[in-house]
Structure 1
Amino acid sequence: MLERIRIVLTGTSHPGNIGGTARAMKNMGLGDLILVAPRGEARSAEAISRASGADDLLARAPVVDTLEDAVGDCSLVVGASARSRNLPWPMISPRELGARLPGELASGDSRVALVFGREDTGLTNAELQRCHAHVHIPSNPDFSSLNLVTAVQVLAYECRLAWLGENTPAATTGAPKHDETQPFTIDEGDRDPLASHADLERLFEHMEEVLIAIDFHDPDTPRQLMARLRRLFLRARPDQMEVNILRGMLTAMEKRAKASAG
């Protein structure tokens, strides 16, 4: 399970935080790290020093240009967020995240991404809207700012606790058990695999094109329409067949719109 949990650092400015993240991950048995457009030298001497023996993880961490490049193959993307947003999004705690992981990773080809933002500004609204849910660490409200590596360590610990709960008696580990009634949980027997992040992004692009074509959506006055549709479909967790059906519906709408215009 742990090998299919990916840590994504976005726009990291301090190389030491990249090295510290690698160390925090290796402490908890995680090994999949991807860096999105780091603002400093990702493998500097400082990063290697802070990795403290986890420099092998640092050395093999891909560096990509966009968040989509980092999470395109993931079936669940969770963004770390410390700020309230104008448009509310599904919010879970680190412990709830850990409890859901066994169910999310029950399929052998599923993958979960935990996305962390910049040290100074965090994740942008656009980046957060590409996540199925947001995770918030309930720190002291009078001193709530967490160092990036600390935030990674907290979530990595919860991942390991969930893994221990699946591999050792819960009474011994105190690990949270998966609750099948919680949101974002799918257990429907022979259901098709969940749509990947890349599948959903193609759906949203297609949807926006069609809604503009039929004069339902005006990109000059968007009124958060696409953000709300993102929230709706990300909350619904469509599978691959459902996305194909929706894409087929959109294509039929496109053809009818072109025929009417002709």
Structure 2
Amino acid sequence: MDPDLEAFHRIRFVMVETTHPGNIGAAARAMKTMGLSRLHLVNPKVLPNAEAVARAAGADDLLAAAQIHGDLVDALRGCRLVIGSSARLRTVAWPLLEPADCARRLLAEARQGEVALVLGRERSGLTNDELARCHFLAHIPTDPGFRSLNVASAAQIFAYELRRTWGTAGEQYTEETEQDPAPAEAMEGFYAHLAQTMTDTGFSDPAQSRKLLRRLRRLFNRARPDRVEINILRGILSAAQGKKTPGRFHKTDPSRSAPSTDPDGNAAGEA
């Protein structure tokens, strides 16, 4: 298979807790029109039904192949890059992309592995905790006086930008994509370990540290550590939790060795 075509088919659209099945069908139609095929649904309020099939207008094969997940963590398993779409900006600033840049990054990263675009709920979009699982936030510019954009319409815009950009992404992000960042599930394991260590060491109160944890997620999402680096970080966390033997690598400094003594027990040089 053509490497560019193979990359195109590694892009998954993840719809989170969609309320109206018709929107799922319309999103499937938007994807198929642009040649995309990977649809993942997180806890939809109603599973794809006759209304979804009708709105899909011939893309019912995408509906039949759609993967259903109980939570977003499972839907992102194996992804090296995750971009979340949101109509509103957040109090914790997140790296922000417009649709064209979003498409270029997804396509460039898909040459190396699985990637995902996450679309939120019709009424409220993505929660802050869901956004914290994304490396970037994609924002579609709209009229400030009327920001309401249907989730299927948003899917169409992103699908169009992906199709338009496909094959022309070039090497714009080559330096970033040459690394092999840890997948989403490895990062989730690290974040859970980090949160537990912060509690165990008395660094933070878990009831009051949600915003702090989101900031730390943003920090490590920006760094995009690989698996080896994540293992190193988790080893440090384990040591901080007391799961390693304290001082096990300390060595005696020869220059500070005990002074020699005479037969009476006096240190050399003492009267």
TM-score range, shorter chain: 0.7 to 0.9
Equivalent residue runs for 1:12-51 within 5 Å: 12-40=18-46, 42-51=47-56
- The CA distance in 2 between the partners of 1:30 and 1:238, in whole Å, is 29
Matches within 5 A, 1:32-181: 32-40=38-46, 42-107=47-112, 110-165=113-168, 177-180=170-173
TM-score by length of structure 1 reads: 0.86
**Matches of 2:45 and 2:97, distance apart in 1:** 29
Match of 1:215 among 199, 202, 208: 202
What is the alpha-carbon distance in structure 1 between the residues aligned to residue 155 and residue 114 of structure 2? Answer: 17
Q: Say whether residues 1:186 and 2:176 are aligned partners.
A: yes
Deviations, residues 55-76 of structure 1 (Å, cap 9, x unaligned): 0110110111100110021111
Q: Cα distance, 1:258 vs. partner?
A: 8.7
For 2:99 and 2:14, the matched residues in 1 are separated by 16
TM-superposed CA distance for 1:259, in Å, is: 6.4
Q: Which amino acid aligns with 2:230?
A: V
Q: How many residues align?
A: 241
Q: CA deviation at 1:247?
A: 1.2
Secondary structure class of the residue paired with 2:15: strand
**Which whole-Å CA distance do the structure 2 matches of 1:156 and 1:91 have between them?**
18
The one-letter amino acid of 1:143's match is F
Q: Is the 8 A contact 2:8 2:107 kept in 1?
A: no
Identity %: 47
Q: Distance in 2 between matches of 1:77 and 1:39?
A: 23
Over residues 137-168 of structure 1, what are the superposed CA-to-partner deviations in whole Å (9 max), with x where a residue is unaligned? Answer: 012222221111110010111111221325xx
CA distance in 1, matches of 2:154, 2:107: 21
Unaligned runs of 5+ in 2: 1-6, 248-271
Contact 2:131–2:137 (CA<8 Å) still a contact in 1? yes
Kept in 2, the 8 Å contact 1:101–1:162? The answer is no
RMSD (Å), alpha carbons: 1.9
Hey, what does 2:252 align to over in structure 1? none
User: Secondary structure of the residue that 2:63 maps to in structure 1?
Assistant: helix
Q: Secondary structure at the match of 2:82?
A: strand
Unaligned runs of 5+ in 1: 167-176
202, 223, 244: which one aligns with 1:236: 223
- Decide which moves more: 146-155 or 96-105: 96-105
The alignment's TM-score, normalised by the length of structure 2, stands at: 0.84
